[in-house]
Structure 1
């Protein structure tokens, strides 16, 4: 990664320029048996389409606040990078009533309806499938995103020193336990985490941590991205036996794990 990268979107652009064909995010859901592997190029394409949806159809602007009510999932990772591309502040598990936009999974729709702004729902079905019928009051992400452009250009440059991410810290509760990072601060912390773990180009991190704390976001996306590595993201890892986990570690060529 380039030393001049100061936002997560910068990190993704550098990864795309370096080796677009290599795997970036491999996702397992051990409750459903789903496996999805996204190369850098494929992941970046999803990010571009989502950023175009966010900026164009949803009218999001730098500084807007988006409550992200999604579990650990490859589409959650896409939304995090799309928000970084537009400059929209992401509040993980944030209060929808206080947000400009909300992005919800199927299990948090009732809470998400408190948002007075744009609402997007994700079915989180295998292969990015849509809802059988879109939830009332929500745009179905799987319906809206395919037609978006494959290239993205922000209407205004993203300020690396602007608020980027609000997320909990492990073992904390309430507003006092929330960490607030600028985009540049996020990149710096991800680099520090990658250094502490000894990650570098080619590292492959398996993570079973949820995305509701910095530890989960770092291990499951940002530290591998900052290091030029990749992530094996495992949802519902408790469904897997110890023997099956070791087979996965071997087959996926995992070099580091956090479960």
Structure 2
């Protein structure tokens, strides 16, 4: 990270410049057995493609609102940083009827139809698989469309760090506020320096969950082991994961 970083997208760019090969997000789904590890470079590639989809595919502009009807998941983290890259507001579990666009996962497709704008569906299946035979009615398939977009992203309009960037649990934050708060809280969460590795089982529908599961890692040079359905894992299994993943702090949420 750099002292001049003022948006989450800035934090990602600094992480990419500093060490693109280090792990950033390691994701587990303990209901399916999935494990995915994304380096800074791989994560940034997904973010660039998704930001291009937002900007070119959806014609999203700074200030537009994207309702993210998604759980704590590595693809949700990608969408959060893609929104920051374009300057659109990421409204986590927000009201689809008030959003310009909706991105939804299983169990939220019906709710997402309240949005009159374009909608993307994520299967959240292992390896980010597409829907077969096709996505839910009223949705395009993210897994089908995102690979067609470029690996590099440049916003058409510079992102204003003092404009709204994130809404979670009813609270609104600018890009500057997200970065400042993530920096301030990083040490308390266990990100005590570069290389710190936090295991988080917290949901993404609170600031604490977003900070522990993404933003504080970016703000501190650390990495996160993001766990979904952690309640499926035994205490012994959790202890083994902490050891095998070289975890230095835990926010289990169970």
| Fold shared by both chains (TM-score > 0.5) | yes
How far has the Cα of 1:36 moved from its partner?
0.2
Partner of 2:177: 185
Are 1:107 and 2:107 counterparts? yes
Partner of 1:213: 206
Equivalent position of 1:222 in the other structure = 215
Q: In the alignment, what sits opposite 2:150?
A: 149
Q: 1:90-101 residue pairs with structure 2 within 5 A?
A: 90-101=90-101
Query: Aligned equivalents of 1:30 and 1:195: distance in 2?
Result: 27
State the partner residue of 1:57: 57
- Answering whether residue 224 of structure 2 is matched by residue 235 of structure 1, we say no
- Taking the TM superposition and a 5 Å limit, the aligned residue runs for 1:1-259 are 1-132=1-132, 133-168=134-169, 178-199=170-191, 200-259=193-252
Unaligned runs of 5+ in 2: none
Does the residue aligned with 1:16 lie in a helix, a strand or coil?
helix
Deviations 1:91-146 (A, max 9, x none): 11111111100100021000000100110100001001001112121110000001
- 8 Å CA contact 2:189–2:212 kept in 1: the answer is no
Q: TM (normalized to structure 2)?
A: 0.97
Q: Within 1, Cα distance between the matches of 2:52 and 2:106? A: 23
Q: Residues of 2 paired with 1:258 and 1:45: CA distance? A: 27
CA distance, structure 2, for counterparts of residue 117 and residue 28 of structure 1: 32
Output the TM-score relative to the length of structure 1: 0.95
Aligned partners of 1:32, 1:134: CA distance in 2, in Å? 20
Residue 196 of structure 1: CA displacement?
2.7
What is the CA–CA distance in structure 2 between the aligned matches of 1:38 and 1:105, rounded to whole Å? 20
The alpha carbon displacement at 1:198 in A equals 4.8
SS at match of 1:145: helix
Q: Tell me which residue corresponds to 1:173.
A: none
For 2:118 and 2:178, the matched residues in 1 are separated by: 26
**Structure 1 unmatched runs, 5+:** 169-177
CA RMSD after TM alignment = 0.7
